[in-house]
Amino acid sequence: MRIAVIGLGLIGGSLAWDWTQAGHEVWGLSRNPETTRYAQDQGIISGSLKELGELAGEDWDVVAVCTPIGEVLPTIAALAEVVAPTTTVTDVASVKGSLVRSATALCAGFVGGHPMAGTAAQGIRAAQRGLFQGAVYALTPLPQTQTLGLQRLEKLIRDLGAEALICDPDEHDQAVAAISHLPVWVSAALIATASQQGSLAWRLASSGFRDTSRVGGGNPQLGVGMAQANQQALLGQLQRYQAHLAQIQTWIEQGNWDCLRALLEQTQRQRQQFRGCRSS
């Protein structure tokens, strides 16, 4: 397929790299010439674009918008003016509901997507081959979404070694609020709490703290963007989380070790339902 990736950062660069490796013709667009030069030198992309207007009148199968969340909709609005109606336009934003509805209204060839993989790093130099291997890649079509676009993306997702999961955009947002957006702020609060403890805590911190602090120590623009874009769902999950914490605090005050043990026995079983947790 002939693919253009807009926004060559961690996600855009990693997608471009795997698609190039899979034999697709992948072009990249960045605001920074140094980014596309690096991407071409590394073999991440085979050609570079300077502006969206260069996509006009050309035969592109897929354009993937991989910019920060706040830039996705303006980029799709601009793309809708230039790409052919047969081009599939997709995004990778972590929040889907209203974005998918607005993007589909702007651009008939739009299919919302969200690869469920990442790291704490950002920018083209953070791009990795194989980042999506074994990962779930959510696709969030609406009833009017074009079948051709869905089929193209399902093929590209297979080429990443990932698994396509079709879901409703609003249900997607509720689910990621619980498993992705809430953990960022829980982890950030944990880091802030530990840092009040002083240097001995940092010297003693090891693998457990590394695991629980990872997402709170990630890309600030991404974390805030997710909270802004999924505010209501995140607030609902924060409320539920605080209720659990309050209950735990009460049991600890009461010395109710039976209830605390029962909770951990239950969460130990529940964690096994998450496919990524089965081996750790």
Name, in order, each residue with C-beta under 8 angstroms of 254's C-beta and a sequence gap of 6 or more. Answer: none
By CB under 6 A, tell whether 118 contacts ligand NAP. Answer: yes
By CB under 6 A, tell whether 123 contacts ligand NAP. Answer: yes
- The amino acid sitting at 177 is A
Cβ 278 to ligand NAP, closest distance in Å? 21
**Residue 194: both structure tokens together:** 């530990």
7: left (phi over 0), alpha (psi -120 to 50) or beta: left
Stretch that binds ligand NAP, among 62-70, 142-150, 184-192, 251-259 (CB under 6 A): 62-70
By CB under 6 A, tell whether 35 contacts ligand NAP. Answer: yes
Shortest CA distance to 189 belongs to which of 138, 223, 155? Answer: 223
Stretch that binds ligand NAP, among 117-125, 185-193, 233-241, 267-275 (CB under 6 A): 117-125
By CB under 6 A, tell whether 90 contacts ligand NAP. Answer: no
Size of the site for ligand NAP (CB under 6 A): 26
Full strand arrangement of the beta sheet holding 163-166: 113-115, 136-139, 163-166
| 20 vs 35 by CB, closer to ligand NAP | 35
Cα-based angle 168, 117, 64 (whole degrees, multiple of 5): 70
By CB under 6 A, tell whether 9 contacts ligand NAP. Answer: yes
Cβ 69 to ligand NAP, closest distance in Å? 4
| 186 vs 263 by CB, closer to ligand NAP | 186
Could you say which residues in the range 131-150 bind ligand NAP, by CB under 6 A?
Answer: none
Among 87, 88, 104, 122, which residue interacts with ligand NAP (rule: CB under 6 A)?
122
By CB under 6 A, tell whether 30 contacts ligand NAP. Answer: yes
Distances (CA, A) of 133 to 79, 112, 166, 167: 29, 20, 18, 20
Residues that bind ligand NAP (CB under 6 A): 7-12, 30-32, 35, 66-69, 71-72, 92-94, 114-115, 118, 122-123, 219, 222
